[in-house]
Amino acid sequence: MSNLLIPDPIISFQGVHKAFGRQKVLDDVSLDIERGKTTVIIGPSGTGKSVFIKLLVGLLKPDRGSILVDGEDITRLKEKRLYEVRKKFGMLFQDGALFDSMDVGENVAFPLRRHTRKSEKEIREIVALKLAQVGLPGVEHKFPSELSGGMRKRVGIARAIALEPEIVLFDEPNSGLDPVMSDAIDKLILRMQHELGLTFVVISHDIPGTFQIADRIAMLYKSKLIAYGAAQDLRDADDPILRQFFDRSAVGPIQVV
């Protein structure tokens, strides 16, 4: 179930191993991620999903294996080149991670000021455009504390796409949101994917949301990639681990500790 053939993948994990001390977190994980699509990574808590994303942006190094981004092995890069490669990525952190002391406009402008030499006028235009793209036009002067959780997520997404990255990583975009807001974020992700055509890698615990946004689903379980395929194929699979996860049952091979 993990033999998806993806020509010219934008990201390729090849035999990746990662352990912390004696704890094996990823064991020989290989997977290719398709350009311009949404791949959702699922799996029980503690199976290495966040570690996967940290490896992908070079915040962690694997013990073995290669991680190619546009064909370039980022595990072997010097810090300077890695810094350049990181500009290909936009990231939505789990809690939105906005700077509370800055207004929304300054939050979205932050990566532009840090990584580009654009003029004040250009920055203001880009910020306005990105906020409009996430459905929040004109909120530049509000502060994060004045926003709802869903609005904060949207501002986080606007900031993640400010530098026009090729790849956007979302670590649990729905966490902490009520079901209605959660659905609104999924619809936004879906619409942005269609409009912008970027590569999205999403970590999610939310099963209905996963099926709403995913082109591909990868499941990590006990340090292994146990399933990877088109969302439809996984939905219909009779693998007991997948079934238990999708049916959100406490009974089955996945042990709830």
Ligand X SMILES: Nc1ncnc2c1ncn2[C@@H]1O[C@H](COP(=O)(O)OP(=O)(O)OP(=O)(O)O)[C@@H](O)[C@H]1O
Q: Which two tokens stand for residue 224?
A: 């292994």
Residue 47's binding partner out of Mg ion, ligand X, none, with CB under 5 to 8 Å set by partner kind: ligand X
DSSP 137: T
Q: Identify which of residues 49 and 153 has a Cβ nearer to Mg ion in the complex.
A: 49
Closer Cβ to Mg ion, 139 or 218, answer by number: 218
Residue with tokens 């909120």: 139
Burial class (CB in 10 A: 0-12, 13-18, 19+), 52: buried
Displacement of CA 132 from its chain's centroid (Å):
21
The token pair that represents 144 in the structure block = 């994060």
**In terms of CB distance, is 133 or 223 closer to ligand X?**
223
**Cβ distance to Mg ion smaller for residue 127 or 177:** 177
Stretch that binds Mg ion, among 48-56, 176-184, 204-212, 243-251 (CB under 5 A): 48-56
CB of 75 to ligand X, least distance (A): 16
- Nearest by Cα to 107 from 153, 50, 150: 153
Contact range with Mg ion by CB under 5 A, out of 44-52, 80-88, 140-148, 157-165: 44-52
Minimum CB distance to ligand X, residue 60 (Å): 7
Environment class of residue 223 by beta-carbon count within 10 Å: exposed (0-12), middle (13-18) or buried (19+)? buried
Applying CB under 6 A, which of residues 8, 15, 20, 148 lies at the interface with ligand X? 20
Q: Is 50 in the site for Mg ion (CB under 5 A)?
A: yes
What character string, x for contact with ligand X (CB under 6 A) and - otherwise, covers 23-62? --x-----------------x-xxxxxxx-----------
Q: Does 175 bind Mg ion (CB under 5 A)?
A: no
Stretch that binds Mg ion, among 29-37, 47-55, 143-151, 179-187 (CB under 5 A): 47-55
- Give the shortest CB-205-to-ligand X separation in angstroms: 6
Q: Which residues pair with 225 in a beta bridge?
A: 220
Residues numbered 115-144 forming contacts with Mg ion, rule: CB under 5 A: none
Angular region, 187: left φ>0, alpha ψ -120 to 50, beta rest: alpha
Distance CA 29, CA 148 (A): 38
Residue 137's contacts (CB-CB under 8 Å, 6 or more residues apart) are 128, 131
Number of residues that bind ligand X (CB under 6 A): 10
Concatenate the DSSP letters of all residues of 159-176 into one string. HHTTT--SEEEEE-TTTT
Applying CB under 5 A, the residues found at the interface with Mg ion are 49-50
Applying CB under 6 A, the residues found at the interface with ligand X are 20, 25, 43, 45-51
